[in-house]
Amino acid sequence: MGKRVLMVLGGTWHDFDGFAAAMRPVFKRAKLKVEATYEPDALTQLDGSRYDLVLINTCIGERREDDGPTAPGFTDRQVESLTRWVRGGGGLLAVHAATVAGQSSPALRTLLGGVFVTHPPQFNFTVYPLHEEHPITARIDAFTVHDEFYVQDYDRSVEIHAVALDRGVAHPMVWSKSEGEGRVAYIAMGHGPEVWGLEPYQRLMLQAIEWLMA
């Protein structure tokens, strides 16, 4: 029986339908059963559910700057439910703009291990897996993407698995952490189809999911 994934989407500035459409065949080949929703209240119904993993790709929050999201952020109840579920043994994969929501929710920032700060206009950059191999980045060589380069304020306790360079400074692109009995992973890349279709990116997503559910 395939593992069940709840994919929570929504917000501004991103093609979430396109992301879901691009990832569905990838997940299907891995025998993952995906249920996608734009209803964040689904996070309040995780207790007793049969989901093996929650994947969040959203761009939401209360920020009102010109380059920020205008969609409401997660509620305290939604974040508390998700945190309880993860600490009880669940797996959480946060993708790309998911860390934006941490700007309006300190509890979510703590759960994810970091929060979005800014990004320059899209450009080509190379993602480098670190020398110390991890199951998330195993057998993945450095690969180049045309993407938004996310600069994050991240907890120094997270385990970084891949970095990229912007103006001579290395920033984390992939990290993970333990949370109670559960696990959390974050993948910063993934704004558009130029990234979603890359074989190394798809493999990175699948290996992250496999590690989270192990």
Give pLDDT tens digits for 41-60. Answer: 999 999 888 999 999 999 99
On whether the CB atoms of residues 119 and 150 are closer than 8 A, the answer is yes
Question: What's the pLDDT score for residue 49?
Answer: 84
Residue 48 CA, distance from chain mean position: 23
The CATH number of the domain where 195 resides is what? 3.40.50.880
Rounded CA separation 173/205 (Å) = 13
| Model pTM score | 0.95
Q: Which two tokens stand for residue 94?
A: 């946060």
3-state class of 138 per DSSP?
Answer: coil
Range of the domain at 206: 3-212
One-letter amino acid at 176 equals S
Domains held by the chain: number? 1
When the pLDDT of each residue in the chain is averaged and rounded to a whole number, the result is 95
Give pLDDT tens digits for 122-146. Answer: 999 999 999 998 999 999 999 999 9
Give pLDDT tens digits for 69-101. Answer: 567 899 999 999 999 999 999 999 999 999 999
Q: Which two tokens stand for residue 124?
A: 């080509």
Half-sphere exposure (Cβ direction) of 206: Cα atoms closer than 13 Å: 21
Question: What's the pLDDT score for residue 71?
Answer: 77
Total Cβ atoms within 10 A of residue 102: 25
